[in-house]
């Protein structure tokens, strides 16, 4: 029986499904540059930072851009993405996510966000979830991306909790690796074939209850 005191949540793909908005914005950028961008390619960008995502997209298309040009392209993509997430609604929270966050807090555990996104504040505000987090660690506060454990270690620290007393909820392989590297328990959200290194895999947070966490 483990002594769990805090839950650290990835955002995109665990609490909200923003992958579709990232896809539309990257596709529009790719099309403006004269090539296409597929849903399969988009899958590979889950959990990957904005800057690294652009580098990969340009690499796949065989295109070279200067650092200055890349900064402009990433900003252009982000402005379209922000336009889309600015009208997100509480109904877009993934099934069971709000309820699970409430249950975790009612059970006396702390909650933190651990996301690569620099837009997490806007998303949590738009979906009405901001008040359910004791700490927010996101792309604005880290210097190393997942699979580096920094984002989760900072979350544990902000909650005054030892890593082994934390459970991470993640949909990306890089995020599972990050949690493990940080010495935390991890619940994968998605397919067991892909997330096989997690301690437990569920299809969504709706499958979970706090009881399950004590048996990880
Ligand atoms: C992650 C997403 O949560 O955040 C990635 O899975 C995204 O697809 C990354 O690239 C960075 O997001 P943002 O909002 O800072 O562009
Ligand atoms: Mg994710």
Question: What's the pLDDT score for residue 214?
Answer: 87
119 touches ligand 1 (CB under 6 Å): yes
Q: The whole model's pTM is what? A: 0.95
Q: Which ligand is nearest to the CA of 74?
A: 1
Determine the structural domain holding residue 108 and report its residue range. 6-16+90-213
| Spacing, Cα 169 to ligand 2 middle (Å) | 9
* Residues 112 and 76 grouped into a single domain: no
Question: Could you report the per-residue pLDDT of 126-163, keeping only the tens digit for each?
Answer: 999 999 999 999 999 999 999 999 999 999 999 999 99
50 touches ligand 1 (CB under 6 Å): yes
Question: Could you report the per-residue pLDDT of 70-82, keeping only the tens digit for each?
Answer: 999 999 999 999 9
175 touches ligand 1 (CB under 6 Å): no
Q: How far apart are CA 112 and CA 154, in angstroms?
A: 10
| Spacing, Cα 182 to ligand 1 middle (Å) | 21
The answer to whether residue 1 sits within a structural domain is no
The answer to whether residue 184 sits within a structural domain is yes
Q: With contact defined as beta carbons under 8 Å apart, do 85 and 17 qualify? A: no
* Residue 12: active-site member: yes
* Residues 124 and 145 grouped into a single domain: yes
* Residues 121 and 81 grouped into a single domain: no
Q: At what angle do helices 67-85 and 50-61 cross, to 10 degrees?
A: 120
| Spacing, Cα 189 to ligand 2 middle (Å) | 9
* Residue 17: active-site member: no
> Which tokens sit at 132?
């359910």
Q: With contact defined as beta carbons under 8 Å apart, do 92 and 115 qualify? A: no
- Find the DSSP H helices in 8-141: 19-32, 39-43, 50-61, 67-85, 97-106, 120-126
The answer to whether residue 102 sits within a structural domain is yes
């Amino acid at each position: 029986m483990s002594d769990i005191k805090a839950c650290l949540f990835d955002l995109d793909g665990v609490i909200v499904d923003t992958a579709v908005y990232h896809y539309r914005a990257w596709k529009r950028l790719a099309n403006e540059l004269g090539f296409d961008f597929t849903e399969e390619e988009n899958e590979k960008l889950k959990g990957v930072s904005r800057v690294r995502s652009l580098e990969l997209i340009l690499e796949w298309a065989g295109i070279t851009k200067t650092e200055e040009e890349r900064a402009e392209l990433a900003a252009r993509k982000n402005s379209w993405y922000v336009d889309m997430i600015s009208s997100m609604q509480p109904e877009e929270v993934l099934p069971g996510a709000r309820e699970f966050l409430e249950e975790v807090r009612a059970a006396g555990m702390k909650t933190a966000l651990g996301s690569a996104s620099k837009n997490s504040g806007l998303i949590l505000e738009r979906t009405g979830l901001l008040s359910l987090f004791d700490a927010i660690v996101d792309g604005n506060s880290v210097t190393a991306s997942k699979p580096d454990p920094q984002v989760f270690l900072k979350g544990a620290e902000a909650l005054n909790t030892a890593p082994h007393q934390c459970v991470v909820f993640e949909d990306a392989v890089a995020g599972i690796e990050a949690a493990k590297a940080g010495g935390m328990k991890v619940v994968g959200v998605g397919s067991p074939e892909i997330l096989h290194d997690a301690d437990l895999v569920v299809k969504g947070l709706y499958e979970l209850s706090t009881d399950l966490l004590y048996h990880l």
